[in-house]
Amino acid sequence: VKFGRKGSRCPGEFCLFKSDTKNLLFNDNTECLAKLHGRTTSEKYLGQQYITAVANLQQCSTSELLDACAFLKK
């Protein structure tokens, strides 16, 4: 409720479902999040193909550009 499209803290602080960029975790048209019932886990809900794809992303090597620009974070 606080961070939804019409939430009390959106757009002043943070909007969970509003962004001008692509590749969002949630689509701008998202109305709400559904609670998983029973013994359904996020892994079961998302499916093995999605879980495997995300796990493979974590194994990718990082860009040398990120290492070169790391000094900016310090």
Give tens-digit pLDDT for 22-69: 656 666 677 777 788 888 888 898 899 988 988 887 777 666 766 666
Query: Do residues 37 and 45 touch, judged by C-beta distance below 8 A?
Result: no
Domain ranges for the chain, please list them: 42-73
Distances (CA, A) of 73 to 40, 58, 63, 65, 67: 39, 21, 16, 13, 11
The answer to whether the beta carbons of residues 16 and 10 sit under 8 Å apart is yes
| The two structure tokens encoding residue 22 | 């692509």
pLDDT, position 54: 83
Q: Is the full-model pTM beyond 0.75?
A: no
Length of the chain as a residue count:
74
